[in-house]
Amino acid sequence: MNHARISSFCRNKNIKNEFGRTFRRWIHVGEKIHDFSVIDKRKIPELELEYIRLQHDATKADMIHLSRNDPNNVFSIGFHTPADNDKGIPHILEHTTLCGSKKYPVRDPFFKMLNRSLANFMNAFTASDFTFYPFATVNPTDYKNLRDVYLDATLFPKLRKLDFLQEGWRFEHSNVKDKSTPIIYNGVVFNEMKGQVSDSSYVFYMLFQQRLFQGTAYGCNSGGDPVAIPDLTYEELVNFHKTHYHPSNAKIFSYGSFPLKENLAALSETFSHFSPKTINKPEMYLADFESEKRVTEYGPADPVMPPDQQAKFSVSFLANDTADIYETFALKLLSRLCLDGFSSPMYQALIESGLGSEFSPNSGYDSTTKRGVFSVGIEGAANDALPLLEEKVYSVFEKLAKNGFKREKLDAILHQMEISLKHKSAHFGMGLAQSVPFYWFNGVDPADYLSWNKQIEWFKNENKDGRLFQKLIQKYVFENKSRFVFSMYPSADFSTNYQKKEAQKLQEHVSSLSADKIKEIEQVSADLLEKQSTLEDTSCLPTLSVSDISKTTEKTELDSVKMDNVPIQWYKLSPGLTYLRVLFPLKDFPEHLLPYLSVYCDACLSLGTFDENIAELEQHIRRYTGGINISPSLVTDPKDLYKAGLHLYVSGYCLDENVEKMTDLIKKVFYGTNLDNREKLAIMLKTSISGVTDGIAERGHAFARLSSASSLTDKARMSEQLNGLSQVKVLSELNKAKDLDQLVSYLKEIQHIMKETRDVKVAVNAASSQQEVVKKSLKNLLPSPSADPAVGKQQDTKKFEPSSTQVYHELPFQTNFASSSYVGVPYTHEDGAALQILSSLLTHKYLHGEIREKGGAYGAGLSYGGVDGILSFFTYRDADPSRSLGIFTEASEWAATHLFSESDLDEAKLSVFQGIDAPQSESQKGVLQFLDGVTDDMLQHRRERLLDVTAEDVSRVAKQYLVNGKISSSTILGPKMSIQPAGWEISTLSS
């Protein structure tokens, strides 16, 4: 058959085969499409995609397209942006490019597009050596709109000086309207990075990388050191953009089912304005050391950890050039074998032995830099633990170099890889978009990185004699002079000293300012405030319309299967994987046991049983499942906000043929955990508290919301006890306890309750052919129905009484987090939709401008939990939380009197439906109905109400639930204050 004739015939046409599937015109290597040349094309069957690599003929811009039958399409453009100092120029540029461009000259088009789109993901990221801008959407028009905005923002930004001052850093009076107040530093990135300095894990990793990679671009802080950020000038920012944001320095990623040709046409048009450019790239590869290096630093102290158990240490070995994707794959496997899980040799030698509470943040093999680094370290260690750490690390490697690993450990890891390929999430494409650049920018061919089967085939061939790992250990540990030993000790004065450094620098800057310069600063502050307060014409920005939102909810077809009076909700999948979920109701659960329920769940997967230790048990879990989870679950009745249900939620998934093994394993850990294993229990508690303060520093707004909502409903109260600062205090006290007898007694009470629990519910997502094996397995797992009518019977409980509170949580942070919460309505209430629209309007139309732009906080908003029924204002990394609390009140009053326009409402509806209509993986179908009792009919009614919300509805609910709300509570998380605020309760993690 004449291939040329077929190609000619297919050109610009679609041809359907006998099954009606549309074939795209064939693309071949060497073909030119819209000024791009196809330089590689191959199928990657394990990921069910076709890989196409292209190069722009004129500028040499590099692009890959991953064609896959997935409606959730992804686009990203990225640039190689290595820094040569700690001023944070790549990070601040990432923010500033999104503040207006040639085609879209409005202030902050990126944030304005958040509510003019149905994108399920929009963001931008700064890594150590590159910056990239990804989004994902299922709507073709939306895709084109966002692609155009992203391309114009990155390649033709306005880069106005006022935007640099807003996003980066600026001088201003602490009260910009009062010139008698002191001059301070402010700025979004400045405050963001001050928040990072409160995270000891971040400080450890950043100092480790800077000291290890000194002399290369990785040795600089691309995000910015708050002490160095005020040295960055506007001119430096503009010049960095000219140097780095160019198609010749760009990598473009696209994924999904939308046509490639249209993407190439848009890119070609954009790139036609550029000439080829030679980009000078700094040294990225770290050369070998002549001898071992040792570095010591100091970082933040943790208020919940014992003062003498907070040191962090690591021993690191320079490894391969990560462009060697095959050796990189082998080193990743070696890392998992050495460090991953209870049975790993390093865990047993370093954590189980009590030397440290957890692995250090840099532990494992890091392939995200040009030269890979293999590190083993600990945190939560005594100050004198380093010599013993080194001794144990080398001792473990010596044994491994001699004896290797047991085959079943490698099989378990390979099984996890196999099952992860079958387990496709709804955001699979975005996951690839976020992982590929780390390798792509370091010279790895993306196709090689994505071709897992080839890597596994190479590994099996290289490991025929079973000695590949021994050879790698010999090469990179014992024959390697390029070793780096890093230590970070806690300093109780770290935060104070950091504040002093900032204050000293500020004083030096301010003292050098002339009277004219101060007047200029004051004028710039006034100009910025005026700009931030001016309403703009945003008509130049593309937008979807409410008509693009489907008027009907996609039905989830669920079957009901009965098994001995146990209801089973069944969602049909194609054969391959079986997903199992079980809800155990905890009716009338004893109040004194509630703080220990999360501990019990962790214990089930940490202590082992009477027949198997946890290392053996975990090995079986990894060999036969994709994971087992046990956690508390709280449910609010969709029709009654004050009716809350507490459950224990058990879930797991596996290959279809392993269902019986999975349920056997669940039964062992759920009913047979050896709670008398105090040694393992102590290790578990020590690990659970390790780094918890860092978690609060990273997600402080979530903890603030939990705290402020906890006095409003019973579910919120229980949620805070199980997941909030109250739980952190419980863990802290348990770690200080002289013995664990009382805790063991509580855990046994919970275990007894679980064995007596009936009325369970089950949900299964699997092929219909799995029904019989699932039923058989469940009969072995679930308790038999009780003949005693008292078992599981709902008892009368004390009614929860809402109250208003004000709590200030003192934490060793550089910035603050604030929240104020109000009571809303149940999910089925008619006002729920209007409250949901209100939350979007206040976030985008008021709070963003007042708190982020003017106040310099990294983030702010109003969240509304549709099922939980709680309205929560919040700020993230906020320099002035007291001001923000006042703005929360002002925002409520503004919304109650402001008449929102039709376009305002349309934007809010688009914003809300981003979450509602976000793609959902097949494994998650039916979960909302199963866990929260929200039916398709309820979802459809809420959709109709959301689409019908009017401006009058929004103003009415703002007045009723916010302005006139009888009960509300506020919380601040922040550094210790010299003066206690009137009417506020002061709380610390040690009290």
- Residue 728 shares a structural domain with residue 609: yes
The pLDDT confidence band at residue 398, using thresholds 50, 70 and 90, is very high
pLDDT at position 464: 94
pLDDT at position 977: 80
- Over the stretch 907-916, which tens digit does the pLDDT of each residue have? 999 999 999 9
Tell me the Cα Rg of the chain: 29
pLDDT, the chain, mean = 93
CA pair distance 3, 539, nearest whole angstrom: 50
- Over the stretch 789-825, which tens digit does the pLDDT of each residue have? 444 444 445 678 899 999 999 998 989 999 999 999 9
Eight-state DSSP code of residue 462: H
- Residue 218 shares a structural domain with residue 303: no
Element (H, E) at 440: helix 428-440
CB 468 within 8 A of CB 460: no
CB 578 within 8 A of CB 979: no
Q: Dihedrals φ, ψ of 293, to 5°? A: -115, 145
Kind of pairing, strands 62-67 and 49-56?
antiparallel
Q: Which two tokens stand for residue 104?
A: 């879209």
Query: How many other C-beta atoms are found inside a 10 Å radius of the C-beta of residue 556?
Result: 16
- Residue 334 shares a structural domain with residue 372: yes
CA pair distance 231, 195, nearest whole angstrom: 19
Over residues 305-309, mean pLDDT:
91
CB 990 within 8 A of CB 306: no
- Over the stretch 480-529, which tens digit does the pLDDT of each residue have? 999 999 999 999 999 889 999 999 999 999 999 999 999 999 999 999 99
CA pair distance 762, 651, nearest whole angstrom: 10
CA pair distance 864, 871, nearest whole angstrom: 5
CA pair distance 524, 546, nearest whole angstrom: 39
Minimal CA–CA distance to 71: which of 864, 917, 988? 917
- Over the stretch 923-944, which tens digit does the pLDDT of each residue have? 999 999 999 999 999 999 999 9
pLDDT at position 789: 43
**Would residue 42 count as lying in a domain?**
yes
CA pair distance 625, 719, nearest whole angstrom: 29
E strand spans, 573-639 = 577-585, 627-637
Q: Which two tokens stand for residue 500?
A: 């002093």
**Would residue 542 count as lying in a domain?**
no
488: phi > 0 → left, psi -120 to 50 → alpha, else beta; which? beta
**Would residue 830 count as lying in a domain?**
yes
Return the SS3 of 935: coil
CA pair distance 832, 948, nearest whole angstrom: 12
- Residue 259 shares a structural domain with residue 298: no
**Residues contacting 966, CB < 8 A, separation 6+:** none
pLDDT at 206 over 90: yes
Over residues 265-292, mean pLDDT:
94
pLDDT at position 791: 41
Q: Which two tokens stand for residue 693?
A: 């303060």
**Would residue 673 count as lying in a domain?**
yes
pLDDT at position 335: 98
Minimal CA–CA distance to 986: which of 725, 691, 731? 725
Q: Dihedrals φ, ψ of 922, to 5°? A: -60, -30
- What are residue 861's DSSP bridge partners? 874
CA pair distance 764, 570, nearest whole angstrom: 5
Minimal CA–CA distance to 220: which of 238, 234, 235, 240? 240
- Residue 391 shares a structural domain with residue 330: yes
Position of tokens 């099989």?
Answer: 411
Minimal CA–CA distance to 331: which of 373, 285, 377? 373
pLDDT at 611 over 80: yes
**Would residue 512 count as lying in a domain?**
no
Q: Looking at 206, 240, 271, which one is the last position of a domain?
A: 271
Kind of pairing, strands 761-766 and 566-572?
parallel
The pLDDT confidence band at residue 23, using thresholds 50, 70 and 90, is very low
**Would residue 454 count as lying in a domain?**
no
Q: Which two tokens stand for residue 210?
A: 């800077």
Over residues 614-629, mean pLDDT:
95
pLDDT at 788 over 70: no
Q: Which two tokens stand for residue 597?
A: 């329920």
pLDDT at position 254: 98
CA pair distance 518, 504, nearest whole angstrom: 18
The least confident of 64-68, 437-441, 584-588, 590-594 is 584-588
CB 648 within 8 A of CB 656: no
Active site residues: 94, 167
CA pair distance 321, 392, nearest whole angstrom: 27
CB 818 within 8 A of CB 972: yes
Q: Looking at 781, 796, 826, which one is the last position of a domain?
A: 781
Burial (0-12, 13-18, 19+ Cβ within 10 Å), 129: buried
CA pair distance 590, 507, nearest whole angstrom: 56
CB 946 within 8 A of CB 150: no
Position of tokens 């906080």?
Answer: 857
**Would residue 276 count as lying in a domain?**
no
Per residue, the 3-state secondary structure of 915-937, as one string, reads HHCCCCCHHHCCHHHHHHCCCHH
- Residue 304 shares a structural domain with residue 398: yes
H runs (alpha helix) in 534-655: 597-604, 614-624
pLDDT at position 3: 33
pLDDT at position 208: 98
pLDDT at position 423: 87
pLDDT at 786 over 70: no
- Residue 111 shares a structural domain with residue 179: yes
pLDDT at position 961: 97
The pLDDT confidence band at residue 783, using thresholds 50, 70 and 90, is confident
**Would residue 895 count as lying in a domain?**
yes
- Residue 757 shares a structural domain with residue 812: no
**Per the structure, how many domains does the chain have?**
4
Positive or negative CA dihedral for 419, 422, 428, 433? Answer: positive
363: phi > 0 → left, psi -120 to 50 → alpha, else beta; which? beta
The pLDDT confidence band at residue 138, using thresholds 50, 70 and 90, is very high
Over residues 220-240, mean pLDDT:
97
CA pair distance 61, 254, nearest whole angstrom: 14
**Residues contacting 516, CB < 8 A, separation 6+:** none
Return the SS3 of 306: coil
Kind of pairing, strands 968-974 and 806-810?
parallel
CA pair distance 282, 350, nearest whole angstrom: 38
Q: Looking at 237, 271, 305, which one is the last position of a domain?
A: 271
The pLDDT confidence band at residue 691, using thresholds 50, 70 and 90, is confident
- Residue 768 shares a structural domain with residue 860: no
Minimal CA–CA distance to 582: which of 96, 209, 930, 949? 930
**Residues contacting 458, CB < 8 A, separation 6+:** 326, 329
CA pair distance 270, 263, nearest whole angstrom: 11
Query: How many other C-beta atoms are found inside a 10 Å radius of the C-beta of residue 619?
Result: 20
Q: Give how far the C-alpha of residue 491 lies from the chain's centroid of Cα atoms, to the nearest Å.
A: 29
Over residues 212-221, mean pLDDT:
95
* Global pTM value: 0.92
* Parent domain of 366: 293-404+467-491
CATH number for the domain that contains residue 221: 3.30.830.10
pLDDT at position 798: 62
Positive or negative CA dihedral for 65, 69, 71, 72? Answer: negative
Over residues 322-327, mean pLDDT:
96
- Residue 698 shares a structural domain with residue 842: no
pLDDT at position 191: 94
pLDDT at position 990: 73
Over residues 414-424, mean pLDDT:
87
Q: How far is CA 557 from CA 55, 571, 923, 925, 926, in A?
A: 45, 7, 13, 9, 8
- Residue 810 shares a structural domain with residue 759: no
**Residues contacting 538, CB < 8 A, separation 6+:** 106, 109, 112
Position of tokens 């790139």?
Answer: 271
pLDDT at 843 over 80: yes
Position of tokens 């001050």?
Answer: 194
Q: Percentage of the chain with pLDDT > 90? A: 87
- Residue 597 shares a structural domain with residue 741: yes
At position 193, the amino acid (one-letter code) is M
pLDDT at position 15: 29
pLDDT at position 7: 28
At position 538, the amino acid (one-letter code) is T
